[in-house]
């Protein structure tokens, strides 16, 4: 399609979701090609040649598309750990080994593809109905959210949460901590609210998942 000056502008496809990507690719030619194919589909792309160049604040704001070069994903995971934000990451490689794919998915990547030659390879993952990430990444997202909330728990609330996780009732906790049952119930209600959990079972699940992801 030509604009008024006669130059041709890229035609963006209509009626599709627009996504914001951070692309981490050390090869400038590949970086340019992948950026161009996504921009042509109407998406925004900010390219970087290595993980360290990307601001940590972008982890939760953009989809991360990155080449799986040695150590790169581990550096990204470390950045996410420090920021307490779990990003949605799609990895790619020219010839991905099955063991590498399994390892990265276990670490929390939401997808792994061959080096993309067209945008549809990337968007086929991004635009699936369940693109919240892999099972592990969804757990990690909940865990990071819970960890941030747990920072706001009082020492007493932490103590009560641990006892709840061990199967104690409010009456048993009251006896152990020499508190009234009513006081324990108030603490439980407060910690559920802080964790964004609707039930004690949900709070316990977050505690268990957190321990699994940190061992």
Query: Is the per-residue pLDDT at 4 higher than 50?
Result: no
* 176 and 81 inside one domain: no
pLDDT-based confidence at residue 144 (cuts at 50, 70, 90): low
> Tokens in use for 120?
């549809």
> Tokens in use for 205?
């699940």
Q: Express each pLDDT in 82-98 by its tens digit.
A: 887 778 899 999 988 87
This prediction has a pTM of 0.57
Quick one: pLDDT at residue 155?
94
* 161 and 135 inside one domain: no
* 156 and 137 inside one domain: no
* 33 and 115 inside one domain: yes
Look up tokens 């020219």; give the residue.
94
The number of domains in the chain is 2
Q: Express each pLDDT in 154-200 by its tens digit.
A: 999 999 998 988 888 999 999 999 999 999 999 999 999 888 888 78
CATH of the domain at 48: 3.40.50.2300
Spatial CB neighbours of 22, under 8 Å, sequence gap ≥ 6: 45, 46, 48, 54, 58, 62, 63, 64, 65
């Amino acid at each position: 399609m030509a604009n008024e000056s006669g130059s041709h502008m890229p035609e963006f496809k209509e009626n599709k979701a627009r996504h914001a990507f951070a692309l981490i690719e050390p090869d400038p030619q590949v970086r340019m090609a992948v950026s161009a194919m996504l921009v042509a589909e109407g998406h925004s792309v900010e390219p970087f040649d290595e993980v360290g160049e990307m601001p940590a604040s972008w982890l939760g704001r953009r989809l991360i598309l990155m080449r799986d070069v040695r150590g790169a994903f581990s550096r990204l995971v470390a950045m996410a750990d420090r920021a307490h934000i779990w990003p949605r990451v799609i990895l790619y490689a020219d010839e991905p080994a099955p063991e590498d794919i399994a390892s990265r998915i276990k670490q929390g990547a939401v997808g792994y593809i061959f080096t993309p030659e067209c945008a549809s390879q990337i968007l086929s993952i991004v635009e699936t109905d369940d693109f919240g990430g892999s099972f592990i990444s969804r757990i990690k997202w909940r865990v990071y959210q819970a960890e941030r909330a747990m920072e706001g728990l009082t020492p007493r609330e932490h103590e009560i949460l641990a006892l709840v996780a061990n199967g104690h009732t409010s009456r048993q906790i009251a006896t152990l901590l020499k508190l009234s049952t009513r006081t324990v119930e108030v603490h439980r209600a407060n910690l559920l609210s802080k964790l964004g959990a609707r039930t004690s079972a949900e709070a316990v699940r977050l505690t268990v998942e957190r321990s699994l992801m940190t061992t």
